[in-house]
Amino acid sequence: MTTFLLDSTVCNHKSRVVATFDAGAILFAVESSCPLVKEFARALSSSPLKVRDITKKICENPIYIKATENSLHPNCIVPCGVAMCAWTEAGLVSKTLLERFPAQCVRYEKGGGREIDLSKS
């Protein structure tokens, strides 16, 4: 079982995603304070996904398709968190690596528009 906590600070909602690998499929349980995510969670929990499904490109991936069908906003972090949770549960992302680097961030940079020196990343 793999659990991810998602803190959507812009919309002030929190979600908890649990993925469980069983009999060759990933099952999901999602709790959220967001009504749109709750609808997405019901759709997602209705049918387990095979590993080959969770590795599909975004436009073909059932996680993102269900997010679209349930009217999640394009900037919602939950579908990405669900995908990361599923990948981790399937063994495609190392839990040891996640223990070293437990969070990924999207940060706003005030005064953007400058050149980015990616060599310093």
Tens-digit pLDDT profile for the chain (121 aa)? 999 999 988 899 999 999 999 998 999 999 999 999 999 999 999 889 999 999 999 999 999 999 999 999 999 999 999 999 999 999 999 999 999 998 888 877 777 666 667 776 5
Question: 94 exposed, middle or buried (CB, 10 Å; 0-12, 13-18, 19+)?
Answer: exposed
Domain map of the chain by residue range?
A: 2-102
Residue spans of alpha helices (H) in the chain: 35-45, 51-54, 62-69, 78-89, 95-100
- pTM of this prediction exceeds 0.85: yes
Rg (CA), the chain: 15
User: In CATH, what class is 2-102?
Assistant: alpha beta
Is there a contact between 42 and 16 (Cβ–Cβ < 8 Å)? no
CB 83 within 8 A of CB 61: yes
